[in-house]
Structure 1
Amino acid sequence: MEVMAYTWMLLSMYILGHCLILYGEANEAQALGNFLKSRLSKKPSPVLHFTAQLDVNTGFSHDYIQPQGGSMETDKIIALPGQPSGVDFNHYSGYVTVDSKAGRALFYYFAESPENSSTKSLVLWFNGGPACSSLIGAMTELGPFRVNNDSKTLFRNNYAWNNVANVIFVESPAGVGFSYSNTTLDYQRTGDKSTETDAYTFLINWLERFPQYKSRDVYITGESYGGHYVPQLANTILLNNKNTNQTLINLKGIAVGNGWIDDRTCYLGQFDYLWTHALNSDETNKGIHTYCHYFNDKDPEQCKNFIYKSNIEPGNIDGYNIYAPLCPIDSSSLTKTSSNSVNSFDPCSNHYMSSYLNRADVQTALHAKVSAWDLCNDSIHGGWTDSAATILPIIKNLMSNGIRIWLYSGDVDSVVPVTSTRYAINKLKLSIKTAWRPWSTDEEVGGYVVEYDGLTLVTVRDAGHLVPSYQPARALTMISSFLEGALPPP
């Protein structure tokens, strides 16, 4: 039985990885696909119980308080090139050293709230991949600015999450975006455990740099493979809060969007989503259910054939949002597709962001020390040392400790679809506190919500994998409700 289950997992990771690469230009999806393929030669990791102790096998130091070279004053951004007039909040960026011996440092961008920043909560944001930059979130999703189609100027995001909280975007792990290590071996031994430890070390040292936030309520948010990053970091915070010698972090909740949290239900949810959204034929769906039987293959060769068909049949679409347009291949057509409006999704926004962040004047303004910025670092995937097959035990532990947990899902994402999230929640066998109902923004249905005992599921209507990119107003309503501890408005 174990051999058959393992065969199915390897096959699924290979074929699904191929599928995700085919879809559009979704770099975070491509990173996830490449990562799954890289796991082919490795047995699935067991459920990982993170203890935040020294792991001699990784070589990563766990001395949390590290010597630092930066300060809050030197990290303050005077102005970003091309930023609009009337910027009414403070923002900062720079590096926090997480291992001084290895020379490993994580880059961050921090946007305070324009109003009442001295009392509002602190929100951390992580993009997924793994190994994709959180500046994707800052510059194309929930940050205060978006990049215009000239790749030189910025415009204001009226639905930025720093309207309701003080938001840190952390590029994690080292080797992603502007984050780096002077020990190149670090890039070949990165995994869930080291990423979680470095993220915790980052937060502890960041709070030393910004001590006024030490007593604030803290919320951790993210998307995609952030379904690993976010719960794992939260769990480590809980463990270390029991140590009287550590900084007490006032963790209140986590929110994960379209998160990869459980391998089996994610795979099952992908196939079912493709069929129920008319992207797979009846014959292919029947073949998968007949021959694959989910981790207990009846006929591995037939299973392989039907999974391949399942991933070819959708054609050249963007798996991040199955109804969204693709960015034109001809770069000369880019400016013709853009409206420079936060209310209109621009499929070429990644191109504008990448060009902007690779400008020397922008990097100087951001205090960046790395001259070449990219959305994701594929080279890290091959050295990813550990990845839990399921995060559900960690979620159970967070629930038992009273941590607010929201799993939200854009409903037109096929990479980590809402079906995968619902199947994962069903495995927890939770009782329902508030029955499924619609919620609204601007007198329109914004999505649907169901509150379970210890966990809330929120869907965001007509949103893809990067929810705030496609539905910024609905995303702001959703995250505002989360921070308030209330369900989205009916």
Structure 2
Amino acid sequence: MESQGDPRNDPIVIWLNGGPGCSSLMGLLEELGPFRPNPDGRTLFENVFSWNKVWNLGIFCIFWGISGKFFAANLMFLETPRGVGFSYQNMTENADTEWDDTKTAEETADAIEDFFNIYKNLRSHKNELYLTGESYAGIYIPMTTNVLIDRIQHKGLQLNFAGVAIGNGAFSIIQEIRANADFMYFHGFYGRDEWDQLQRCCPQIEPSDDLLPSVICAYEKYVSVNGSGLVNPLNSSDTQFRKCSDLVVNLSEWSVWNNVYNVYALYEECYERSIKSQSQQQRKRIRERMVPTAREQQLFEKLKKSPRRLQSAYRHVMRSSEYVFSTDQLGGFPCYMDAASEKYLAQAHVRSALHIPDYVQNWVACSPLVEAGYTQLYNDSLPVLQKIVDSGYKFRILIYNGDADAGCNIFEAEYTFDELAKRNDMQRGQRSPWYYRMEKNYASELAGYQQRFVHNKGQLVIDVLTVKGAGHLVPTYRPGPALQMITNFLRNAANYSQFQPFNLTRHELLPQFQPPYVNSTTPEPEPETTTPEEESTTTTPEPEPTTSIPEPEPSTTTPEPESTSITPEVITSIITIEPESTTTTPEPEPTTPEPESTTTTESGSESTPEESPATGPESTGTPTATTTKSSARMSLKYNSVTMAVVQLLGAVAVWTMLGMGSA
């Protein structure tokens, strides 16, 4: 995805989803990409918080004296390891069906190097490269970083590799075991009795070990971790040891991963999701969310069969999204996004546009095959991170965590990088709040906390942030703060509270980018979508309306289209499907029908009295001149509306003449 600013000079941000075995197209469609799917799984709407967003230029640049370098970013979503998403391998050349951290890092570095060999124009010093990702990318990215740095320093690779950003990273199962029990207790997920029992099991840190605060319990002594990252209690002849082993596994692992809530977003509300406990085998997989119930889906399918009622279908589903299966501030998007993304990417025209061969598997969020065949080599990323420090390579690292994620919680990241800083005697900054501001006239709100670690006189800079209220997918749950955060990181700003003036106005997709529908006809646009420029391109003049309203400015009395007030803002840009630009016969204005003439209807469709007067009848096929009962009803309905408006205007006029209209 090219930058919306200056693609030739803006930085390149490569995104990796985790798993291991999950597709980076999740990040594209559900987190930081320029488009997101609608509940129907067939259309898209604009994500105004996309990470390739450009600044609002002008007075800000003049006032701050900022050069035009970091106004946006080019985005690349890389499928890794091989076999996830739409990626595939030629089995005659490489029949390997096993994966591990080392193979993934080498293959990812190969793919990045090949990309820049093909697009040499992006290899300049102006295009800084950043690796970004989340979850198990906490292992992918440090491993790949070491491979790239080694090739740059010793093998002549020319790459302007500037830094990495990792969100809610799975950095260390060891730190996870130490942190989870505390995190869950202080979020109210188990009681004081269990907590007191656990404290009696706390292994004391040796006084000589100054790498960790003494309040952190080394619970890892009670458990074993296998190559799939699964935690199991250790056996022992000591009864108390066995009790502690079982308690640690129960409170640090099973209570987290085997529950009915969404481990990745503790406060997410998807009321109509099936109540199924997660197994440990699903612990690293982003859990699928359900779309609306079968009843809601059936009604949606029924409504959208008629192009006239397509907008009603969207409104119905989105009202359900807000008030039926979720009450979050995102219109229920997290509840339907996985299923909608999978359905969108299964469409034939989408696969064709992406050049996906027919023999390639259907897209799924996370590959069971890759997950089952993946061996985790590092239960703790500290040795990998230490190699980055030891390289002496000039580098910047951003670590950010949504504080409502129990899967990869804030303490896991904090403990990991606090220990790395102590081992290397890094300069520690004061932990302080950072603030988000959406618009220049808005007040700033607390967005989280930040702390900076500096090594070797600024050769290595590590920023550790929390994001207030965000779950595992920070760009999904807190899109505004996430955009401000990543922009300040790319700009190397001194503070993440620095306001970034983005234009957050949502735009409609152009007609050529809207996917075709099963029916061969295309709905007429809503009145508000017709611009003067579009009207000027038509070759047939607008029919002269016959109206009984003696109002000199009829446009001022036309009711606002229903979609502007009823449709949630999250989908206002996509509920109307634009016609082809070659249309030469415009539809008469819906508020000015000719009662004496016949009403044109779509072939084979029936206009219903439930349609809004503001929307009016829409023609999507070849019109007929047959007067039907439904057209008579429509004429009668519009005549009734006309008379009501006339009566209202008359009442206002009388009120004014009597001098009763003044306040």
Fold shared per TM-score above 0.5: yes
Residue 497 of structure 2 corresponds to residue 489 of structure 1: yes
Q: Which has the higher strand share?
A: 1
Contact 1:125–1:134 (Cα < 8 Å) also in 2: yes
CA deviation map 1:150-178 (0-9, x unaligned): 11110011110111200100111111010
The CA RMSD measured in Å over matched residues stands at: 2.4
Match of 1:383 among 365, 373, 391: 373
Number of paired residues?
Answer: 379
Alpha carbons of structure 1 residues 122 and 361: separation in structure 2 relative to 1, 3 Å = same
CA deviation map 1:40-95 (0-9, x unaligned): xxxxxxxxxxxxxxxxxxxxxxxxxxxxxxxxxxxxxxxxxxxxxxxxxxxxxxxx
Name the SS of the counterpart of 1:362 in structure 2. helix
Aligned counterparts of 2:407 and 2:110: Cα–Cα separation in 1:
31
Task: Using the TM superposition, give the Cα deviation of residue 249 of structure 1 relative to its aligned residue in structure 2, in angstroms.
Answer: 1.3
Contact 2:180–2:251 (Cα < 8 Å) also in 1: no
Identical positions, percent: 30
Residue 104 of structure 2 corresponds to residue 195 of structure 1: yes
Amino acid at match of 2:448: G
CA deviation map 1:276-308 (0-9, x unaligned): 111122222333343474122362344225533
Task: Using the TM superposition, give the Cα deviation of residue 401 of structure 1 relative to its aligned residue in structure 2, in angstroms.
Answer: 2.0
Task: Using the TM superposition, give the Cα deviation of residue 431 of structure 1 relative to its aligned residue in structure 2, in angstroms.
Answer: 4.2
2:399 aligns with: 407
Aligned counterparts of 1:194 and 1:306: Cα–Cα separation in 2:
32
Residue 165 of structure 2 corresponds to residue 255 of structure 1: yes
1:476 aligns with: 483
Aligned counterparts of 1:187 and 1:176: Cα–Cα separation in 2:
14
Alpha carbons of structure 1 residues 182 and 332: separation in structure 2 relative to 1, 3 Å = farther
- The runs of 5 or more residues in structure 1 that have no matched partner are 1-110
Match of 1:125 among 11, 15, 27: 15
Match of 1:434 among 415, 429, 436: 429
Residue 62 of structure 2 corresponds to residue 152 of structure 1: no
Aligned counterparts of 1:187 and 1:379: Cα–Cα separation in 2:
13
Task: Using the TM superposition, give the Cα deviation of residue 437 of structure 1 relative to its aligned residue in structure 2, in angstroms.
Answer: 1.4
Alpha carbons of structure 1 residues 332 and 481: separation in structure 2 relative to 1, 3 Å = farther
CA deviation map 1:202-240 (0-9, x unaligned): 011111222211122101001000001111111111100
Name the SS of the counterpart of 1:253 in structure 2. strand
Once the two structures are superposed, the pairs formed by residues 9-24 of structure 1 within 5 Å of their partners are: none
Once the two structures are superposed, the pairs formed by residues 201-216 of structure 1 within 5 Å of their partners are: 201-215=110-124, 216=127
Task: Using the TM superposition, give the Cα deviation of residue 274 of structure 1 relative to its aligned residue in structure 2, in angstroms.
Answer: 0.6
Alpha carbons of structure 1 residues 333 and 270: separation in structure 2 relative to 1, 3 Å = farther
Aligned counterparts of 2:271 and 2:81: Cα–Cα separation in 1:
28
Residue 167 of structure 2 corresponds to residue 241 of structure 1: no
Aligned counterparts of 2:363 and 2:272: Cα–Cα separation in 1:
22
Once the two structures are superposed, the pairs formed by residues 272-311 of structure 1 within 5 Å of their partners are: 272-291=182-201, 293=203, 294-297=219-222, 299-305=241-247, 307-308=249-250, 311=254
Aligned counterparts of 2:329 and 2:485: Cα–Cα separation in 1:
17
Contact 2:403–2:466 (Cα < 8 Å) also in 1: yes
2:136 aligns with: 225
Aligned counterparts of 1:256 and 1:285: Cα–Cα separation in 2:
31
Aligned counterparts of 1:331 and 1:173: Cα–Cα separation in 2:
35
- Which stretch shows the higher mean deviation, 377-386 or 289-298? 289-298
CA deviation map 1:109-137 (0-9, x unaligned): xx001111111001110000001000010
Match of 2:272 among 317, 322, 328: 328
Moved segments of 4+, more than 6 Å = none
Aligned counterparts of 2:430 and 2:472: Cα–Cα separation in 1:
25
Alpha carbons of structure 1 residues 373 and 303: separation in structure 2 relative to 1, 3 Å = same
Match of 1:465 among 441, 465, 472: 472
Alpha carbons of structure 1 residues 178 and 296: separation in structure 2 relative to 1, 3 Å = same
TM-score (norm 2): 0.54
Alpha carbons of structure 1 residues 305 and 263: separation in structure 2 relative to 1, 3 Å = closer
Aligned counterparts of 1:332 and 1:320: Cα–Cα separation in 2:
28
CA deviation map 1:351-395 (0-9, x unaligned): 111111111111111112324111111222332244212222332
CA deviation map 1:407-431 (0-9, x unaligned): 1000100000001111112212154
Higher relative contact order (CA 8 A, sep 6+): 1
Amino acid at match of 2:272: P
Aligned counterparts of 2:175 and 2:447: Cα–Cα separation in 1:
25
Contact 1:363–1:371 (Cα < 8 Å) also in 2: no
Aligned counterparts of 1:489 and 1:292: Cα–Cα separation in 2:
38
Match of 1:175 among 80, 83, 96: 83
Contact 1:284–1:306 (Cα < 8 Å) also in 2: no
1:63 aligns with: none
Contact 1:188–1:384 (Cα < 8 Å) also in 2: no
Aligned counterparts of 2:180 and 2:296: Cα–Cα separation in 1:
32
1:265 aligns with: 175
Aligned counterparts of 1:183 and 1:465: Cα–Cα separation in 2:
35
CA deviation map 1:319-371 (0-9, x unaligned): 11101112623344473543699954522211111111111111111112324
Residue 412 of structure 2 corresponds to residue 420 of structure 1: yes
1:17 aligns with: none
1:61 aligns with: none
CA deviation map 1:1-29 (0-9, x unaligned): xxxxxxxxxxxxxxxxxxxxxxxxxxxxx
Task: Using the TM superposition, give the Cα deviation of residue 271 of structure 1 relative to its aligned residue in structure 2, in angstroms.
Answer: 1.7
- The runs of 5 or more residues in structure 2 that have no matched partner are 54-71, 204-218, 223-239, 274-292, 298-316, 438-443, 455-460, 499-663
Amino acid at match of 1:122: I
Aligned counterparts of 2:74 and 2:132: Cα–Cα separation in 1:
12
2:337 aligns with: 349
Alpha carbons of structure 1 residues 327 and 156: separation in structure 2 relative to 1, 3 Å = farther
Aligned counterparts of 1:425 and 1:333: Cα–Cα separation in 2:
47
Contact 1:406–1:457 (Cα < 8 Å) also in 2: yes
2:66 aligns with: none
Amino acid at match of 1:439: W
Bigger Rg over Cα: 2
Name the SS of the counterpart of 2:220 in structure 1. coil
2:659 aligns with: none
1:113 aligns with: 3
TM-score (norm 1): 0.73
Aligned counterparts of 2:198 and 2:367: Cα–Cα separation in 1:
32
